[in-house]
Structure 1
Amino acid sequence: MKKKKWLVMVMLVFVLSLTFGTTVCAAGTGDVAGAIEGTWNDASEQIKTVVNKVVFPAIDLILAVFFFAKLGTAYFDYRKHGQFEWAAPAILFACLVFTLTAPAYIWDILGM
């Protein structure tokens, strides 16, 4: 009885995979690389637009908040200990400048 249930389950999985599985062809010629390149060429402008208008501004906002928060905590540490620690605010500022200017040159570096 167990073998019969197991065989029925295997057959059911097999039939469902045949029913819902489809054959994928790359433009009828089998040229998968050409299909991928065509899709990339169609989508690359949309990707650039989304990255320039959404991703970079979000990263800039996060870095700006962290920069000013770290600058504030560094100032309070200076008031408490008498020594200002420049490393963390300087690194965050450099990263902020990099991401603010990145859309101007990043696509030339990537060849897009």
Structure 2
Amino acid sequence: MTREKNRFTKLQWLAFAAALLIFILFSATTVYAAGDVAGAIENTWSAAKSQIKTVVNNVVFPVIDMILAVLFFVKIGTAYMDYRKHGQFEFTAPAILFACLIFTLTAPLYIWGIVGM
């Protein structure tokens, strides 16, 4: 009977130990990191604030405005068709869409003061 003393060779143990050491060294670098993390985040936010504001003003609000305008005119059309069919004009849905459209059209003028940018 042969007795299997060690399944791994010395070279395999050495490779495993080297890989483990490299892993520990890479994950331990953050432990020794010194500095002001909050300051770095504030600086990043200050740099990105104007870009975020520009994208929201030039992309997000116009897309929302276009969607609301299309929905508003479609709702006006369907309300008119209902008026011709039943003789009663329903103002609620078009009025809500119109109010939302006015809100989003004028939002870039005052929303940044509310948000604090």
Q: Same fold (TM over 0.5)?
A: yes
1:94 aligned onto 2:74: no
Alignment of 1:27-106 (within 5 A): 28-29=34-35, 31-106=36-111
* Matched position secondary structure for 1:90: helix
TM-score by length of 2: 0.73
CA shift in 2, pair 1:23/1:98, >3 Å: farther
CA shift in 2, pair 1:22/1:88, >3 Å: farther
CA shift in 2, pair 1:88/1:24, >3 Å: farther
Aligned to 1:7: none
Which structure 1 segments of 5+ residues have no match?
A: 1-10
CA shift in 2, pair 1:74/1:37, >3 Å: same
- How many residues align? The count is 98
TM-align CA RMSD: 2.7
Task: Output the CA distance in 2 between the equivalents of 1:109 and 1:33.
Answer: 24
- What are the Cα deviations for residues 61-86 of structure 1, in whole angstroms up to 9, with x where unaligned? 00000000000000000100111000
- What are the Cα deviations for residues 27-81 of structure 1, in whole angstroms up to 9, with x where unaligned? 841x222111111000000000000000000000000000000000000001001
* Matched position secondary structure for 1:83: coil
Task: Output the CA distance in 2 between the equivalents of 1:41 and 1:59.
Answer: 26
Question: Identity of paired residues, percent?
Answer: 70
Which structure 2 segments of 5+ residues have no match?
A: 1-15
Q: Deviation of residue 23 (structure 1)?
A: 4.5
